[in-house]
Chains A and B, each alone.
Chain A
Amino acid sequence: MRKTQRPVYLFLLVVVLLNTLLWLDSFDRYLSSRYHITLSATLPESAFFVSHQTQALIANAQHSIKSKLAQLQGSEKHHSSVDSPKLTAKVNAASTAASPKIEVAHAAPETATAVAAPVASLPVTPAAAPVAPAPVAPVPVAPLPVAPVPVAPVPVAPVPVAPVPVAPVPVAPIPVAPIPVAPIPVAPIPVAPVPVAPAPVVPALATAPAKAPSAPIAPPSFTTPTQTPAPVAVASSATTSMSKETAPNPTVAPTTLPKVLFAGDSMMQGVAPLVINQLRKENPKGVFVDLSAQSTGLTVRRYFDWPTKIKDETLNRGFELVAIFLGPNDPWDIYEGAKRYAFGTPEWEDKYRDRVIEVMQFAQDKKVHVIWIGLPNMKEDRVKRGAVVQNKIFKEQASLFNFDYLSTEDFLGGLDEPFKKFMDEPGKGQVMLRADDGIHFTQAGLRLISARLYELIKKQAKPSATSP
């Protein structure tokens, strides 16, 4: 390198490395699972020190801004849940740095779990030690007001040990539900947008699937399925999502559909708007909330903790039904505490099952119905292998808890068959149902799933007290 280039390079070096150091704690939100896992596993705890302090400062600043805004706005309702995965990581870091009582296992991405179960279940290893006083001068950080952890008596429900129909499970995993931790109130950044990262599993051409049809569309009947879809019209209509109020449609009579939470990854992002549009048409005042977030799953809880999110949202908003569709981001090693559960091993399967059980157990305790949507056939080998295991778990557990399992394999092709993008539709010939990435769906594929999901949700409707 010539002399004239050295300052330019040093400049680049400092800018990039400095920001890397400052943002290391929430770095995993940028990286796909494989990078994140390597990063988390190889870096020592001390590497995260500066980042912890920085994130704590940011979280404190955000909190005080939010408090002041709340004071200004009077009775503004504080939302207790964390707003984005970005903040999830930051809050974990903030609470770690600000509260010496809470330990964090940073070598693993499961900070949330580590915090949630501080009692005895996790081995305390050097990696899991609290942020030790490092040679770096500690940044003075005002303690973040952490809500006291309500160590509510954990309802250890008896595990239903019903015989598993498919593969015999020797011992049903015990659903050790983690102690619920009250979510730390966090002031969202005023302009914090929703994550729009490309799906990490297949970064190339992950087609954004959400497309809402406007006219009533009957689900196409394909020749392969073993189940004939119910002739349901799926149409877009007045609807809402999150906490937005919508204009009610006065022409449609209100129904008694349950309050539905749609949870999942980009798979659900495609399906939920179609179903919500249809549900909203029947019940304009119904509560149908789509919280699906791209690149999320059950494997990397530090990035996005679906079990906790589902619990929090259900408790806060009183959902009566949770529809869950996720999985392609999950076939990676799970880190919990200092332990690694390699993908493809029975230990991984057990750990993954625990997380599914955690959701279902909570739902059963709170009398919330669950519809778990199984994964369809996949193109990429790793995702496909994952889907085989995941579907087995979803199906078995749904059956044990007496919840609905919606099998997409029945109408989109089984996982034991070669991947197919196209399927035959009478009168139309071969219709493309799957996107180029071999994971997501085309509009035709989305309509197939949404029609079936809509039917299952409708079955959960209760007789209206006010209707004649």
Chain B
Amino acid sequence: MSFVSPEFALIALIFFPAYWALSRHRSIQLGFLTVSGYALYATWSVQFACILLVFSTYIWLAGHWVQSCTTNPGRKLWFAISVLVSLVLLLTSKYYEFVRQMLGALMPNVGMQALLPIIDVVAPAGISFFTFQAVTYLVWQYESKPPRTSFVHLLLFLSFWPTLFAGPIMRARDFFAQLSDPEIGLPRQTQKAIYYLLLGLFQKMVFASWLASTFVDEAFKYPDAQTFVTSLAAIIGYSLQIFLDFAGYTLIVTGLALLLGFSLPINFKQPYLAINLQEFWRHWHMSLSSFIRDYIYIPLGGNRKGLSRTQFNILVAMVISGLWHGANSTFIVWGTLHGLGVVFINLYDKALGKDQAMPVAVARFFTLSYIALAWVFFRADSNESALQLLAALSNGLGTPELQHALLTVFIVIFFYLSARAQRIEQACVQRLIALNWISLTVLVSALAFVAILLGPSGVPGFIYYRF
């Protein structure tokens, strides 16, 4: 059940009053929230809900074992085993078939026979997200020796429905800290939540859907039939679409979490205003990029082992970041492009010095262009298809149409508002706070009506649900 479906909206009318009514009974309320997470997950697949329950039980037990070890080597060993086992489901369901097919194609070429058997495992929805959250729990248990966590709390952490399907990836330490906050369980910052919900709804339902259907989907389906204008519109359109889709989703779930009384980590900070790739990655899908930094890049040695090793670590982290999105060579290329880009900038800075920076506008233009180019591989069905779309830039100019003028206007407005997003948010929230409930209800009802009116037919899927 999607968060932008009418079923969800109608069920929310029953869920929220029941949930808030339990706010004086914390343990029952959290139990209710946990059950609701599993129930929502079961609307996708009951089998997935069972898998999540088994997985969560294992993670809780593994955390307990890690904590129980009295010797450091023992703890380290238990920790390493626990993390590896926790990754088995993710690796098996998401990557095994990719590896098996790759070996199946390669091995006969070198005179060997591929021996890997078929393992038919369906990847549960959101597995990449809850697995990473589980890793943060194990690391927390290993590093900090926190007070023993309750089983129900751990179940809730891994099935917390606003983040279950597409993040943001929460850290165990932060989430469990919130559980001791007396404010959870009651709607907090309601007007801010409403603002997030509305903005997310418009970003996803209206703008991302419009970009996809008008510029992107057609061009990526038939890449070599494109002209300069249509392929450029598709490339720019997808860059905007994926941001509006994912950032819109994040806003919606952040708003829902606020209504539950929880705070979620910030996932986006105007990434397309970045002046280089490093800054982009500090502002794009921040919960994932900080996870990769803290749990992959730094354990690999980070920047502590010399220039060349640092660049290698960056490249590895970026390729893993790409692979995290799925078992497809396009994601490997996407991650590699970003890795190489960061390495190039590092070497450029090293050679010329950071004071040789180019003007901000120029730096933004180059950064965004490179990011947009990399998105082509991210979106395309194959690398060949991506190259075809890029090659189409050298086709004839094509005929610009009214929609391309609209896209240009949209881009200008997008960047104008992006540069002022913080101030706009504060001003809008203040306005909403100043309104009485009747005016607020009328306003939001009208805006929701417009969002549905301009939205697509059917329930739009979120891009990051796939990952």
Contacts and interface: CB of A to CB of B under 8 A. Distances in A.
Contacts of A244: 218, 225
Given A15-B441, A197-B460, A189 B223 contact: no
A18 B9 CA distance: 12
A295 interface: yes
Contact of B396 (A14, A208, A247): A247
Interface in B351-365: none
Contact of A236 (B21, B187, B388): B388
Interface residues of B, number: 77
A194 interface: yes
A13 B125 contact: no
Contacts of B223: 212, 214, 236
Nearest to B396: A247
A35 B6 CA distance: 11
B385 A429 contact: no
B74 interface: no
Contacts of B259: 8
A23 B452 contact: yes
A341 to B, nearest CB: 24
Contact of B222 (A10, A86, A193, A273): A273
Interface string A231-256: 00000111111101011000000000
Interface stretch (B10-18, B83-91, B420-428): B10-18
Nearest to B210: A191
Residue of A7, A23, A191, A273 ringed by the most chain B CB atoms within 10 A: A191
By secondary structure, the B interface counts as helix
Interface in A296-318: none
Contact of B444 (A11, A430, A432): A11
Interface in A196-212: 196-198, 203-205, 208, 210-212
A435 to B, nearest CB: 10
Given A239-B222, A246-B222, A196 B12 contact: no
Contact of B209 (A12, A193, A276, A431): A193
A214 B12 contact: no
A120 B221 CA distance: 45
Contacts of B210: 191, 193
B6 A12 contact: no
Given A12-B13, A429-B114, A30 B459 contact: yes
B20 interface: yes
Interface string B436-467: 01001100110011001111111111000010
Contacts of B9: 16, 19-20
B155 interface: no
Given A84-B457, A428-B105, A214 B388 contact: yes
Nearest to B222: A239
Contact of A58 (B2, B120, B387, B453): B453
Interface in B25-65: 43-45, 48
Given A30-B6, A189-B454, A194 B217 contact: yes
B418 interface: no
B25 to A, nearest CB: 13
Contacts of A212: 221-223, 381-382, 385
A16 B10 contact: yes
B184 interface: no
A20 B225 contact: no
| Interface size classification for chain A | 35 or more
A14 B439 CA distance: 12
A191 B186 contact: no
A193 to B, nearest CB: 3
Contact of B13 (A16, A35, A193, A240): A16
B459 A432 contact: no
B437 A10 contact: yes
A421 interface: yes
Nearest to A438: B122
Contacts of B214: 191, 193
Contacts of B2: 198
B112 interface: no
Contact of B449 (A19, A31, A238): A19
B108 interface: yes
B346 interface: no
A27 B458 CA distance: 9
Given A211-B381, A214-B388, A9 B6 contact: no
A84 B387 CA distance: 31
Given A15-B448, A22-B449, A9 B16 contact: yes
A7 B221 contact: no
A193 B187 contact: no
A247 B122 CA distance: 41
Nearest to A284: B225
A74 B218 CA distance: 27
Contacts of A421: 120
Contact of B6 (A20, A84, A429): A20
A170 to B, nearest CB: 39
Given A191-B210, A193-B460, A196-B213, 7 more contacts: A8-B190, A16-B13, A84-B457, A196-B461, A198-B461, A211-B382, A431-B104
